[in-house]
């Protein structure tokens, strides 16, 4: 990870959960991390925590609602002005709403598409353009996908979510191919976890306390740090090694 010291990483969804754990690891390795989310206060607390641990890296919190392309583009122009550009883009922000395919609300589907698919694609494009204009040839795009991007589980609550994550699988491989065509050494990777204990399930089941309470008790889930460790593994691999996808489940998870 030494070569990433002082370099700039954008981590979306940095306020809690997997994103916050990724931020901590990258700061520990000396990276300058721009973290974005809607909850600025939580990111400010995280930044103070990172600082108090005395590592050479830093978290710069940036309030951004990824539903809005305008806000995303504004964030990239601010990063350009303040930090020159993005060397590593970690598309982590994501969410699910329990809106079934046969009876769910369009607004919930749209929110999932906007954040999980469109914002990820806009950030990827902008990060690549930022690398290209600065002749950065060793950058990295990392998408936090899901096992739900690889198989469809028998739960109407996550069928649409699963479709957005299948899109992430296709987008990661598509980006890898376009990077090859552009003759760069920039890498594209996705990480596909099974159940991880975060705010994901409580948010998904905010209207169903039983489901929320049961989400992480059936077996020992992954912790956010397990996924963050996978991120530093793919980033830390030698420059000629491109890891396409890491699929990781809790040992006791069946599907």
Ligand X SMILES: NC(=O)c1ccc[n+]([C@@H]2O[C@H](COP(=O)([O-])OP(=O)(O)OC[C@H]3O[C@@H](n4cnc5c(N)ncnc54)[C@H](OP(=O)(O)O)[C@@H]3O)[C@@H](O)[C@H]2O)c1
Residue numbers of the site for ligand X (CB under 6 A)? 13-19, 37-39, 64-67, 92-95, 115, 144, 146, 193, 195-196, 198-200, 203
CA 246 to chain centre: 14
Residue 185: CB minimum distance to ligand X, A:
26
Is 99 or 136 the residue whose CB approaches ligand X more closely?
A: 99
Residue 65: CB minimum distance to ligand X, A:
5
Q: Which residues contact 182 (CB under 8 A, 6 or more apart)?
A: none
Q: Is the separation of the CB atoms in 38 and 63 below 8 Å?
A: yes
Residue 143: CB minimum distance to ligand X, A:
8
Phi, psi of 86 (to 5 degrees): -105, 130
Q: How far apart, in whole angstroms, are the C-alpha atoms of residue 81 and residue 104? A: 42
- Could you give the 3-state DSSP secondary structure of residue 223? strand
Q: Report which secondary-structure segment, H or E, holds 173.
A: helix 159-181
Nearest Cα to Cα of residue 33 among 71, 81, 88 = 88
Is 58 or 118 the residue whose CB approaches ligand X more closely?
A: 118
Is 34 or 93 the residue whose CB approaches ligand X more closely?
A: 93
Q: How far apart, in whole angstroms, are the C-alpha atoms of residue 4 and residue 89? A: 13
Query: 161 an active-site residue?
Result: yes
Residue 112: CB minimum distance to ligand X, A:
9
Q: Are strands 8-12 and 222-223 parallel, antiparallel or unpaired?
A: unpaired
Number of helical (H) and strand (E) elements in the chain, helices listed first: 9, 9
Residue 240: CB minimum distance to ligand X, A:
28
Is 136 or 196 the residue whose CB approaches ligand X more closely?
A: 196
Count of CB atoms situated within 10 Å of the CB of 54: 6
Q: Which residue is catalytic, options 29, 128, 161, 205?
A: 161
Is 130 or 146 the residue whose CB approaches ligand X more closely?
A: 146
Give the active site residues: 161
């Amino acid at each position: 990870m030494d070569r990433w010291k002082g370099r700039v990483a954008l981590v979306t969804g940095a306020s809690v959960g997997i994103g916050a754990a990724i931020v901590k690891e990258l700061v520990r390795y000396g990276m300058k991390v721009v973290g974005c989310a809607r909850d600025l206060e939580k990111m400010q607390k995280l930044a103070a925590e990172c600082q108090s641990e005395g590592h050479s890296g830093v978290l710069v919190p940036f309030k951004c609602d990824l539903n809005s392309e305008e806000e995303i583009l504004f964030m990239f122009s601010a990063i350009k002005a303040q930090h020159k550009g993005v060397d590593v883009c970690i598309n982590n922000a994501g969410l699910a709403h329990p809106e079934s395919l046969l009876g769910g609300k369009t607004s919930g589907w749209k929110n999932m598409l906007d954040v999980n698919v469109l914002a990820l694609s806009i950030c990827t494009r902008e990060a690549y353009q930022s690398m290209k204009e600065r002749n950065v040839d060793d950058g990295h795009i990392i998408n936090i996908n899901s096992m739900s991007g690889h198989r469809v589980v028998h739960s109407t609550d996550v069928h649409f979510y699963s479709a957005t994550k299948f899109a992430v699988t296709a987008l990661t491989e598509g980006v890898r191919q376009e990077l090859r065509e552009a003759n760069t050494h920039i890498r594209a990777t996705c990480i596909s976890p099974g159940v991880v204990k975060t705010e994901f399930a409580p948010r998904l089941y905010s209207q169903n306390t039983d489901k929320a309470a049961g989400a992480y008790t059936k077996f020992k889930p992954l912790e956010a740090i397990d996924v963050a460790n996978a991120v530093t593994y793919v980033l830390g691999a030698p420059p000629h090694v491109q890891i396409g996808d890491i699929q990781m489940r809790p040992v006791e998870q069946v599907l």
